[in-house]
Amino acid sequence: MHTADLRALHRLMLVARRLDEEAIALQRQGVFPAYAPAKGQEAAQVGSAAALDLNRDFAFPGYRDIGAAVAMGVDLVAYLATHLNTWHGGLYDPRTSRLAPINAVVGGPVTHAVGWAMGAKLDQTGGAAISYFGDGASSQGDVHEAMNFAGVYQLPVVFFCQNNGWAISVPTERQVAGGSVAARAAGYGIEGHRVDGNDVVAVFEATRAALDRARDGGGPTVIEAMTYRVGPHSTSDDPGRYRTLEDEQAWTDRDPLAVAAKQLSADDVAAAEEHAAAVVREIREGLQASAAPDAAELFSFVYREPTKALLEQQRAWKESLDA
């Protein structure tokens, strides 16, 4: 997407919201072992991912970035099939989709994005990387090392922090020294900006500017999208143990979908709801029809050359099937 199109962005956000709700329902039904809800963060994810040039850029997600997958046009059946826990790495094609596999390591996608950006600079591909992480992940040493490295080598990478207010049960003010992730950028000699993470157009514009700057050799940027995690950290979490309903209710009027819908016609919103319902139905049916991959693949993609220990594990596994 070259320019911000609120109608199209709202349509994508609504698909992300309804798929997120469906994923929670599937977890409650025992289909998914676990799931990390993204409600409230749709504008941050969709707005940033929609700004990518999928012919040359690459995105590195965490485990709560379904909106980015939607905006990038990833095969959503294959994306959500990752949560079935039947394969180790994701069933969609990262190279084609330009979205790296879901990464459950806190802060893990940040170092991967910097490595890709280094390669892009050396190969002069003209592309930029974007890395997704949360305010809690920003306290990881990996994030410091990644930002410092990117600053030293002026790499084409955007560090996109979704500050949703909570590192599981710990509020941002108790684990982010100085109160701002974006402000840390100055210490690495790179750009840093805060943006309203519930305003999808503002997120799109900020990310597009950062990506353009990165591709033009201007170096990295830290974007801190201020948003809110409306639901639990995961489907095994109870946010009622560490925050009040009043706190959650205070964010209702800032719901990114409601903010966008106020600027659209009722017909636009109704059409988007109809489209989202059709997408969810298609994805649900696709997941129900999907078959588990061959279990033998568990040993196929761990190392380029299998180790002695891995071959021994494979032998023991095969013997257990024959027992």
Q: What is the mean pLDDT of residues 204-221?
A: 98
Both 46 and 14 in one domain: the answer is: yes
Both 283 and 300 in one domain: the answer is: no
pLDDT digits (tens, 9 = 90+) for 97-137: 999 999 989 999 999 999 999 999 999 989 999 999 999 99
pLDDT of residue 223: 98
Highest mean pLDDT among 166-175, 215-224, 311-320: 215-224
Give the least confident one: 1-10, 20-29, 198-207, 273-282: 1-10
Question: 241-248: long-range contacts (C-beta < 8 A, 24 or more apart)?
Answer: 241/169, 242/166, 242/169, 243/166
pLDDT surpassing 90 at residue 143: yes
pLDDT of residue 15: 98
Whether 242 is catalytic is yes
Both 270 and 312 in one domain: the answer is: no
Whether 229 is catalytic is yes
Q: What's the CA gap between 50 and 308, in Å, rounded?
A: 45
pLDDT of residue 247: 85
Q: How sure is the predictor about 89, in pLDDT bands with cuts at 50, 70 and 90? A: low
Query: How much is the pTM?
Result: 0.93
Q: Which one from 193, 242, 243, 275 is the annotated catalytic residue?
A: 242
Q: What is the mean pLDDT of residues 211-234?
A: 96
Both 221 and 308 in one domain: the answer is: no
pLDDT surpassing 70 at residue 90: no
Q: Which one from 83, 184, 229, 254 is the annotated catalytic residue?
A: 229
Give the least confident one: 12-16, 86-90, 292-296: 86-90
Q: What's the CA gap between 58 and 98, in Å, rounded?
A: 5
pLDDT surpassing 80 at residue 88: no
Q: What's the CA gap between 124 and 130, in Å, rounded?
A: 17
Which two tokens mark 36?
């990390």
Q: What is the mean pLDDT of residues 267-271?
A: 97
Q: CB within 8 A of 107, min separation 6: which ones?
A: 133, 137, 138, 140, 142, 143
Q: How many structural domains compose the chain?
A: 2
Q: What is the mean pLDDT of residues 21-49?
A: 96
* Burial class of residue 320 (count of CB atoms within 10 Å of its CB; 0-12, 13-18, 19+): exposed
The CATH number for 140's domain is: 3.40.50.970
Q: How sure is the predictor about 246, in pLDDT bands with cuts at 50, 70 and 90? A: confident
Both 318 and 185 in one domain: the answer is: no
Q: What is the mean pLDDT of residues 175-187?
A: 93
Both 112 and 218 in one domain: the answer is: yes
Both 118 and 182 in one domain: the answer is: yes
pLDDT surpassing 70 at residue 7: yes
Which two tokens mark 202?
């503002």
Whether 7 is catalytic is no
Both 256 and 134 in one domain: the answer is: yes
Classify residue 43: in a domain, yes or no. Answer: yes
Both 161 and 237 in one domain: the answer is: yes
Which domain range does residue 71 map to?
A: 6-292
Classify residue 1: in a domain, yes or no. Answer: no
E-only strand ranges, 98-156: 129-134
pLDDT of residue 1: 72
Give the mean pLDDT of the chain.
93
Q: How sure is the predictor about 249, in pLDDT bands with cuts at 50, 70 and 90? A: confident
Q: How sure is the predictor about 65, in pLDDT bands with cuts at 50, 70 and 90? A: very high
